[in-house]
Structure 1
């Protein structure tokens, strides 16, 4: 029997916890907690971990440290500069991690009506409290339904033009192409999964499991999605893969997503 990621009432369970952080990553988590307090202090209402480290699936030397900070006010350029400095320092000090990414948002944004089924869901279900108040207490419970699907990933079509620009900017550089392959692979697999999530009736963050769930409903695209899941974990620099994403898989997925779930409420955001 598969683990659906749902509780007995059919709501998505929060997937991570500090108790699941692997022993090798505990020193970097402790350092992040201490430095976030030093750097952001009263500017910050909440700090969270997300990704493979709090899920307990991180790989030493391969996984990155993902942080989300909810600030009292809208993030400023000075806040972003402080976050980049903190990220760089942690990445250099701890060889156990392969990069640090700190996402800055405001408390008001997390709790806004517009973000209830996107950023709010992300905080409530995919983020593990590290510091401060847990904003999940002011958010609803979530089911794997069409509304959640639409508001999390129903904007893929809006981003494909920017993806093409980023591919052009990377040129022939394998070093520049590799993070694009990783990012786009993960986004496409997650979008493919949430396309079928209401029928699959569950939640998972495992890319391979996401691809298999998708493939059960779209067998003609299953091989493409399985390849994307592999590249999401082990990306290479491959322009053919990138061009296939923005000229084939991406446009098809965006069109099918809009047909099935509709289009996400507009945001002033570029990805």
Structure 2
């Protein structure tokens, strides 16, 4: 007797879960002029080229509209495999300069990132390390830290998961001194080469963090060396999600959830702004 779930019954199960009540955690940062960002990318800008009253219809109606400009790696965003090369080569082995001719990456651009509806796991590293205020500036989160966190939470990392790493640094995103989140002088906590290799060895589909560059930045070094990007984007084919809002999720003690993310299908882009969600069924 077959135990395979039919598409119809699977859909009913999903709808029943929604009807029973779900909680949605917004893991994306609000886009605003002047928000902290990597100095390597064009900043976010928003304007109203047409305001209410600029043009009024015969019936008295009016409309306003907007224009935005921004880099694709500003705010909460996902890196496409075309974003980073190593020794002139991309993830698929292609020549990086040739692949980007014409200003578009046709093979590994953001338009090739499929929407994600996957099991999500939050690894709350400060909680496991006993540092409630977060990891110290420039701290490298090791494979041992990741293993310890997963074991403490009882949350196994499985192939195909999206794993989000909380360092606690995200609390600085709204600081009045916007340079604190960037952390050029202080350094920023995150995984290094070893931590990235650990994640890839678990078979994860994507990895995210609450920091500006995902990985550990040494004091004063800025973005001069990014070995975790090399490991994940070039060598192992794991997407990276940066500048995530993870504090609410951690405060609620949610470590396992349905992760939903859909990038903008910008043809040939090296990344895309995103608004990821963590969905859990109310108890």
Which one has the largest radius of gyration? 2
TM-score class, shorter-chain normalisation, is: under 0.3
Larger proportion of strand:
2
Structure with the greater relative contact order (CA < 8 A, sep ≥ 6): 1 or 2?
A: 2
Larger proportion of helix:
1
Give the TM-score normalised by the residue count of structure 1: 0.26
Give the TM-score normalised by the residue count of structure 2: 0.25
